[in-house]
Structure 1
Amino acid sequence: MHKRFVKAVFVLILQTIVTFGWWASPAAAFTSEQQLFQEAWRIVNRSYLDDTFNHQNWSMLRQQALKQPLENREETYSAIQDVLGKLDDPFTRLLKPVQYRSLQVNTSGELTGVGLQIALDGETGELVVIAPIAGSPAEQAGIRSRDRILKIDGVPTPSLTIDDAAARMRGPAGTAVTLTVQQSGVEPTEIQLVRSRIALNPVYASLDSQSGNVPIGYIRLSQFSANAPTEVSRAVSRLKSQGAQAYILDLRNNPGGLLQAGIEIARIWLDTGTIVYTVNRQGILGSFDADGGALTDSPLVVLVNQGSASASEILAGALQDNHRATLVGEKTFGKGLIQSLFDLSDGSGLAVTVAKYETPNHRDIHKLGISPDKVVPLEPISLDQVGTAADGQYQAAIEVLTSSSVLAGAA
């Protein structure tokens, strides 16, 4: 009996020591730099869409990184970037404090730079243009969707992260930056751009009363920023009061933005139906639906092209699958992944792919894009020709809306 009691006490003491050691040693052992690395690692560990982590041993990558001294913040950032690179996902990335603040500016307010929305080609790793911002120096210089940016001020872009590239193109208004740009089938050219202040008001609207007997409300949406749903709603209400009987929603060269903005704008046009499904790492489907608050049921055409991406594709897919709109133009960009932003304790952040989306008909459009109902190639035009007789896609949209079949369906 005495021996059993001693053994029980010994086991209890051993368990207490082991438990205390497990609880106390990590915080004492890790430096502040290692703790920041672990903070980033844990966010990806619990949130990243692919729970195989691109078939990498995610825990082993953590152990290997923590064997490094990580003597300063730049070494820590490099270590975080190295492990994120193993995911082979250009959308999941570290954002240093300045980059993080710049990204947040992109969804509200204004910025100073050349006005390019950019991405990394997942297959080639090249820096490609999603779309120029309307009226920006880049748009005025003729830079187009799918153009490749090879150098920025002589620095090869393959050596830069997407956020480094964006930071190099931003800068004080009036300063210059030189881009080496290659368009399809053309030799690379150097283009010098003068940075300017770029307003991010995302909506332009007008009433076209020259298209036969059908007054058409034209709404061009350039970005899904925080104020976009309010501005689109105001545009629809104003055009409706002016007598609009049909609408054209122009999403060409709209690179996306906030998911919630896309959902709210879909609700402006849809009374019922699913807008988008989201699929997380467990394969669990979530959905966002219309809420019965549509502002109009008038006929609608949506214009899309190769520069229509992300939230633009969510909105276009929702309207197409619910038979609410006819899509006219070109196949869209094909970005079907959803990122969330996570704050890190030093003011930096992580953009992490946390889900993918599917259209109401369960189409996965990542790298595939959405095909329009009526294919019309985009001819090169200037900004002041968009939405005019010189705009072939716009004219095709008018033809769809003024056809007898569409008007009959709206009766």
Structure 2
Amino acid sequence: MKHKEYASGVLTGVLVVALAAGGVKFVQQRQYNGVLSDSSHVQKIEYLEKMIDQEYLGEVDNDEMAEGVYAGLVYGLGDVYSRYYTADEYAQETASTDGAYAGIGVSIQKNKNGGVQIAECYEGGPGADAGLQTGDVITAINDTDVTDMELSDVVSLIRENKDKTIVLTVFRENEEKSREISVDVTDVELPSVFGEMLDKKTGYIQITQFTGVTPQQYKDMFTELKDKGMERLVIDLRDNPGGLLTSVCDILREILPEGLIVYTEDKYGNREEETCDGKHQLDMPLAVLVNENSASASEIFAGAVQDHGVGTIVGTTTYGKGVVQELRQLSDGSAVKLTVSNYYTPNGNSINKVGIKPDVEVKLASELLNKDEITHEEDNQFQKALDVI
């Protein structure tokens, strides 16, 4: 299974990482039976496996060591965008990129005192509707104690109850006793598009990432704002790390004239193009906000708008990720994400390690840099975007 985003021996991840770095160091040196050939990677792994079997003090989990080998192999590429996923990690990754999953509409994190804490409770989700709140600590699910569970195991426990109602034991801040809250486990969409009318004519749409459900969320929000009288638009891609190539291209087909959106080239020079038929070209002034954390698919968006001249890019130079990854699932449920091609803007520009330079460069005011929340009124980048439209 492919998805674009933008041996007999086993080793622990630590040993594999060390191998990838060019050497293995031991606290104590000792001669082992057998010959180690520098040219044989398999023999070296078998040699290390034997050493672990004979001398390692602790218990050995062969499955975990094997996962370390696979992860270390990809790590050895030295590419920050390529990685190996276990089956559980792949399930979480696809839920994130797809933007939809079986769950209760909350984001959770480990709680230092045990259990899992709700980091975010999505508006309109089953969790919020049932009365869960950000900050709540879940200690049990259907009477199963989760205080010492790994986060992935808690997620799996929730998902295996799809289309059922689960009972959560919840502790809330400043309350001595726990409460039990019943929540439906359903298909949930992660919100990635937010919008509002700023005045009678100006619409604002923020896209936080490009997932599988983002294009429809964008279309719904655009239609809602257009029905309210929108005649000009600000799209905010600041701090958007990117996402799916298909997602950003589907949204750009609602904006661009006929022509090229983006093209990619692999190591063999094979070129693939994404194009727009121009049937839904945006017919109003547009400003696109970007910053140094706008990356990947966000840069495809900004580059296409800039090259076609259909809007003004405002903010600071973007991150500079001009490469595409392919996510491929393996037969055992694990997966590998590899960098497989470069991408280029419609005018043939590679932005890798360079970024997109805004048409109007505006740095965020220094007094706002450390604020958790910034209002539209005090956001000088946002105010400049309003000026240009």
Measured against the shorter chain, the TM-score band is 0.5 to 0.7
Post-superposition Cα deviations, 1:70-104, rounded to whole Å, max 9, x if no partner, equal: 79333322222333233111211111122111111
Say which of 59, 82, 85 aligns to 1:95: 85
Q: Which moved more, 1:74-83 or 1:390-399?
A: 74-83
Compared CA separation, residues 359 and 169, structure 1 to 2 (3 A): farther
Q: What residue identity is the alignment partner of 2:67? A: Y
Find the residue that maps to 2:77 and give its secondary structure: coil
- The answer on whether the counterparts of 2:258 and 2:276 sit within 8 Å (CA) in structure 1 is yes
Distance 1:328 1:92 in 2: 31
1:350 aligned partner, one-letter code: V
1-structure distance, mates of 2:74, 2:337: 11
Paired residues of 1:327 and 1:373 also in contact (CA < 8 A): yes
1:397 maps to 385
Q: Write the distance in 1 (CA, Å) between the matches of 2:305 and 2:297.
A: 12
Give the distance between the partners of 2:218 and 2:38, measured in 1 at CA.
46
Alignment of 1:76-95 (within 5 A): 76-95=66-85
Deviates more, 1:233-242 or 1:249-258: 233-242
SS of 1:354's equivalent? strand
Matches for 1:10-89 after TM superposition, within 5 Å: 64-65=41-42, 68-69=45-46, 72-89=62-79
Residues 354-406 of structure 1 show CA distances to partners (whole Å, capped at 9, x for unaligned) of: 111111111111111111000111132756534x21111111011101xxxxx
CA separation of 1:319 and 1:268: change in aligned 2, threshold 3 A: same
For 2:45, the aligned partner's letter is Q
Q: 1:247 to 1:102 in 2, by over 3 A?
A: same
Question: Percent identity of the aligned residues?
Answer: 34
SS at match of 2:254: helix
Superposition pairs of residues 145-224 of structure 1, within 5 angstroms: 200-209=190-199, 215-224=201-210
Residues 238 and 324 (structure 1), Cα distance of their counterparts in 2 relative to 1, 3 Å cut: same
What residue number does 2:353 align with?
A: 367
Shift of 1:340: 1.3
Cα 1:293–1:113 change in 2 (3 A) is farther
- Tell me the equivalent position of 1:385: 374
1:92 aligned partner, one-letter code: S
Query: Within 2, Cα distance between the matches of 1:170 and 1:371?
Result: 43
Structure 2 Cα separation of the partners of residues 267 and 225 of structure 1: 16
2:95 and 2:195 map into 1 onto residues whose CA distance is 24
1:106 has 2:62 as partner: no
8 Å contact kept, 1:225–1:261: yes
Per-residue CA shift, 1:141-195, capped at 9, x if unaligned? xxxxxxxxxxxxxxxxxxxxxxxxxx989988989xxxxxxxxxxxxxxxxxxxx
Query: TM-score if structure 2 supplies the norm length?
Result: 0.63
SS at match of 1:68: helix
Amino acid at match of 1:309: A
Q: Which of residues 228, 231, 238 is equivalent to 1:252?
A: 238
The structure-2 alpha-carbon separation of the partners of 1:255 and 1:171, relative to structure 1 and needing over 3 Å to count, comes to farther
Mapping for residues 257-276 of structure 1, pairs under 5 Å: 257-276=243-262
Contact (CA 8 Å) 1:272, 1:292: kept in 2 or not? yes
SS of aligned partner of 1:340: strand
Q: 1:170 to 1:359 in 2, by over 3 A?
A: farther
Structure 2 residue runs of 5 or longer lacking an equivalent are: 1-6, 11-36, 50-60, 111-118, 122-149, 156-167, 172-187
In angstroms, what is the RMSD of aligned CA positions?
3.5
Matched, 1:243 2:229: yes
- CA 1:199–1:170 in structure 2 vs 1: closer, same or farther (change >3 Å)? farther
Task: Specify which of 314, 322, 347 is matched with residue 308 of structure 2.
Answer: 322
Segment drifting more, 243-252 vs 104-113 = 104-113
1:398/1:95 CA distance change after superposition, 3 Å = same
Q: Distance in 2 between matches of 1:85 and 1:92?
A: 7
Cα gap change, 1:76/1:265 in structure 2, threshold over 3 Å: closer, same or farther?
same
In structure 1, what residue type is equivalent to 2:381?
Q
Kindly indicate whether the alpha-carbon contact (under 8 Å) linking 1:114 and 1:169 is maintained by their aligned counterparts in 2.
no
335 and 344 in structure 1: CA distance in 2 versus 1, 3 angstrom threshold: same
TM-score, normalised with respect to structure 1:
0.60
Distance 1:320 1:383 in 2: 30
